[in-house]
């Protein structure tokens, strides 16, 4: 089993709709969690850090479920510009970072 | 707007040649990371420096890859000799060294093709 797993998608989302997807992690000692966004042929960019049980930033909401070992990202009122690959990052003890394979989201008019 | 810079942006070379990639982290950042991204393997951590000292290079093939930080403004990743399987995008990222190492800023990457 991979340390960090994501559904590769793509998630085809009508503009204005809500989309949510998860990231599961295997190391129960993981301490910090992050979502990055990567556009095609571009570098990853930090989207959100996930604090305690979760946090919200505008249309984006991240949640952490430690019992089930997953984090989720929810995007409300999807925009065409939200089309990207969303990478989940898990930080374990010793600052060891593991990236998920990414979930591709396509927002269509 | 502070950014991580990487050179070259693109590199095409023949098998067996040496490749050197350079990275200038954001001024004031004290952690530097090298990643490799391919379609098959996704994003893989190759090396990690804090205050110019290497902390983790377990993801790096030691026989041909080397990573250094000659000074706080320059990180290098070398491949010698290069092989076709090294073809990938190599990203450098820097961080402030805060409690959360996962908060990183990536450079635009070096797209390497080894023929």
For the stretch A58-90, pLDDT in tens is 999 999 999 999 999 999 999 999 999 999 999
> Which residue from A minimizes the CA distance to B58?
A96
pLDDT at B99 over 70: no
Q: Nearest-CA distance from B28 to chain A in Å?
A: 18
Give the pLDDT confidence of B24-82 residue by residue, as tens digits: 999 999 899 999 999 888 899 999 999 999 988 888 988 999 999 999 999 999 999 99
> Which residue from A minimizes the CA distance to B103?
A46
Q: Using the beta-carbon criterion (under 8 Å), do A101 and B107 form an inter-chain contact?
A: no
Q: Which of B55, B91, B100 faces A91 most closely, judged by CB atoms?
A: B100
CA B5 – CA A103 distance, rounded (Å): 26
Per the CB < 8 A criterion, the answer to whether B7 and B76 are in contact is: no
- The reported pLDDT for the residue numbered B109 is 98
Instruction: Tell me the residues of chain B between 29 and 88 that have a Cβ less than 8 Å away from chain A.
Output: 33, 42-45, 48, 55-56
Which of A6, A34, A44 should we substitute to test contact with B (largest number of B Cβ atoms within 10 Å)? Answer: A44
């Amino acid at each position: 089993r991979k340390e960090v797993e994501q559904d590769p998608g793509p998630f085809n989302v009508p503009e204005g709709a809500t989309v949510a997807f998860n990231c599961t992690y295997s190391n129960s000692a993981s301490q910090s969690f992050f979502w990055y966004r990567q556009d095609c042929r571009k570098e990853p960019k930090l989207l959100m850090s996930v604090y305690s049980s979760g946090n919200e930033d505008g249309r984006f909401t991240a949640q952490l479920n430690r019992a089930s070992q997953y984090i989720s990202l929810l995007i409300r009122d999807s925009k065409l510009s939200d089309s990207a690959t969303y990478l989940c990052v898990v930080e374990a003890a010793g600052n060891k970072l593991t990236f998920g394979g990414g979930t591709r989201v396509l927002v269509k008019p | 707007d502070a950014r991580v810079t990487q050179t070259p942006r693109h590199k095409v070379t023949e098998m067996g040649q040496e490749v050197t990639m350079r990275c200038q982290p954001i001024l004031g950042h004290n952690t530097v990371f090298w990643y490799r991204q391919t379609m098959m393997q996704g994003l893989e951590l190759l090396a990690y420096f804090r205050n110019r000292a290497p902390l983790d290079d377990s993801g790096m093939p030691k026989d041909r890859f080397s990573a250094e930080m000659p000074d706080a403004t320059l990180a290098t990743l070398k491949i010698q000799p290069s092989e076709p399987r090294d073809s990938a995008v190599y990203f450098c990222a820097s961080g402030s060294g805060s409690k959360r190492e996962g908060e990183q800023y990536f450079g635009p990457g070096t797209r390497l093709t080894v023929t």
